[in-house]
Structure 1
Amino acid sequence: MSDGHILYGEHMSVTDHPAATDPTSSVGAQSRTVMVGDIKTHYHEAGSGAPVLLLHGSGPGVSAWANWKRTIDPIGQEYRVLAPDILGFGYTSRPEGTVYGPASWLAHVIGFLDALGIEKTHIIGNSLGARIALGVALEHPQRLDKLILMGSGALRTGTTPALAVTRNYQPTLEEMGTVLRGFAYDPSVVTDELVEERYRASVEPGAFEAYRQMFHDAAHSGSDTKLDAADLADVRAKTLIVHGYDDKIIPYEVSVRTLSAIDDAQLHIFRKCGHWAQLEFADEFNTLARRFFRRTDHESDAGKA
């Protein structure tokens, strides 16, 4: 498959290399909080128009800003972008007695939409965020417009060594660097500033304790995120699946299986890309997402910018 060529019969496309970075947009993301029940939920908002909900992944020290800093403003040029710190992560509160897992994460996201009065939204979900987005598609389909799944592991069959490293993280700068280098194809993406940012977030009061509970405490179900292909047959939203060919966290073959399972889906694979397509191929990813959201039922992706 050649660079950027779309194979419509397979609903798959591949991009081989990133283009030059666009100048920073001037939309301007705002940092805000809203109460979702007893959860003080931190989120970023930018732009206006139809809503697009961005759901981040689950690595140590993750937050909406860490995942979506190169996505929020570009998508906000055409849409109202909302990027919450999901329950247990970032700068959202962690109420005593919270049980972490797919059910509580989904409830938090639906509660977040309710708190902001949003009845229906596009969703982009990265990794764990993709699993939560699939929960919306399956359990609250009336709340979902179009769906983008990026680095989704819902159909994975095991735990890769790189994913195991993230789950066994201990809070030191050195170990954070090791974890983050497992996410990226190009090690230059993992800057000292990024390592410091993620490390500091990972040692916020209660952050590391919550992270250990999610994935190592039997009372929680943070690792219980797999679905069956038969489950995905019930997804009715138009779906764009995005994956890095060189992803060491979740192999790209998982997204190929996801393509086979969801009826109205297409797949775009970025070569020379790890688990962070939205960071490693930011400009291409943002263009792809905006084009997908713009497209009507009777339009093709071909030839649209």
Structure 2
Amino acid sequence: MHGGGPDHHSLLPLAERLADRYTVVLPDVRGFGRSVCRDPAAYTWARYSADVTALLDHLGLASAVVGGTGLGGTIALRTALEHPDRVCAAVLISVEDIEDDEAKAAETALFDEFAARVRTEGIEAGWAPILPGLAPVIGTLVREAIPRADPASIAAFAAIGHDRAFRSVHDLAEVAAPTLVIPGSDPRHPTALADDLARTLPRGQLATARVSPGLRTAEDLADAVAPAIRDFLNDID
């Protein structure tokens, strides 16, 4: 699953590098791309994990390897925690920060301001003050997705800032699935958190690959992380 801002197109190059051996399904996460949802009340972490299980049901799959970048990784973790029988393994790329109370309050305000800008000035204006603090590849993928996005859905998505995925990395000690953790490199996706998470997860594995500042495109991202993902999937087969 893609991160917050892009859509499934951002992961097409990665899917292409895995498709010779694996069936890869790339949904547009609720609120992005073609998954139009303009109701702010529909954006909760429980709803996002329910979206994953609904997709698995639709595909006739009892379980699957579930993974994603940023937002998509958080959804994968929530699904693994809430529906452990549906997630046989997880892949997390550029893990989103798990905030303390003060940082969470700041994030909520940031998301509310983002939504207000999107509603009054458009999606590009909404992202303008945020993207400089993120890895360059994220900025590229967000900008490429803007023409395919529904502004009302993007604004509604910001309501997720009022929910909390996890209170602490220790909440994830009960995730039993084998999990590959590929660190990010910006304050929103801190490298140190990936290290802590890999140690906390009972079957966590920290990749040597990174979403480094040198990456610029979806192709760059795929080249950087696909080998580690292939090795991980081969090991759990």
TM over 0.5: yes
- Return the match for 2:12 from 50, 65, 69: 69
Q: Which has the higher helix share?
A: 2
- Return the match for 2:155 from 174, 187, 209: 209
CA contact (8 A) 1:247 1:275 kept: no
Which residue number in structure 2 is paired with residue 254 of structure 1? 193
Q: Tell me the secondary structure at the aligned position of residue 69 of structure 1.
A: helix
Q: What's the TM-score once normalised by structure 1's chain length?
A: 0.63
**How far apart are residue 286 of structure 1 and its match?**
0.8
* Partner deviation per Cα, 1:260-299 (whole Å, 9 max, x = no partner): 21121111254671497994442131111011101148xx
Instruction: Compute the RMSD of aligned alpha carbons.
Output: 3.3
Structure 2 letter corresponding to 1:233? A
Identity %: 26
Which residue number in structure 2 is paired with residue 242 of structure 1? 182
* Partner deviation per Cα, 1:208-235 (whole Å, 9 max, x = no partner): 33134333xxxxx4x4122433321211
Q: Does 1:225 align with 2:160?
A: no
Q: Does 1:198 align with 2:145?
A: yes
- Return the match for 2:223 from 280, 283, 286: 283
Q: 1:289 to 1:196 in 2, by over 3 A?
A: closer
CA contact (8 A) 1:185 1:247 kept: no
Q: Tell me the secondary structure at the aligned position of residue 88 of structure 2.
A: strand
Q: Which has the higher strand share?
A: 1
Report which stretch shifted further, 269-278 or 258-267: 269-278
Which residue number in structure 2 is paired with residue 116 of structure 1? 59
Alignment of 1:1-305 (within 5 A): 55-59=1-5, 62-66=6-10, 68-94=11-37, 98-153=41-96, 155-157=98-100, 158=103, 168-169=113-114, 170=117, 171=122, 173=124, 176=127, 179-185=130-136, 190=139, 196-202=143-149, 204=150, 206-215=152-161, 221=162, 223-244=163-184, 246-270=185-209, 273-274=212-213, 279=218, 280-296=220-236
By relative contact order (CA 8 Å, sep 6+), the higher-ranking structure is: 2
CA contact (8 A) 2:123 2:151 kept: no
Task: Give unpaired runs (5+ residues) of structure 1.
Answer: 1-54, 216-220, 298-305
Structure 1 letter corresponding to 2:7? S
Structure 2 letter corresponding to 1:288? A
Q: Tell me the secondary structure at the aligned position of residue 82 of structure 1.
A: coil
Q: Tell me the secondary structure at the aligned position of residue 240 of structure 1.
A: strand
**How far apart are residue 100 of structure 1 and its match?**
0.9
**How far apart are residue 255 of structure 1 and its match?**
1.1
- Rounded to whole Å, the distance in 1 between the matches of 2:222 and 2:124 is 26
Number of corresponding residues? 228
Q: 1:184 to 1:252 in 2, by over 3 A?
A: same
Q: 1:270 to 1:160 in 2, by over 3 A?
A: farther
Q: Tell me the secondary structure at the aligned position of residue 263 of structure 1.
A: coil
Structure 2 letter corresponding to 1:273? S
Greater C-alpha Rg: 1
Structure 2 letter corresponding to 1:80? T
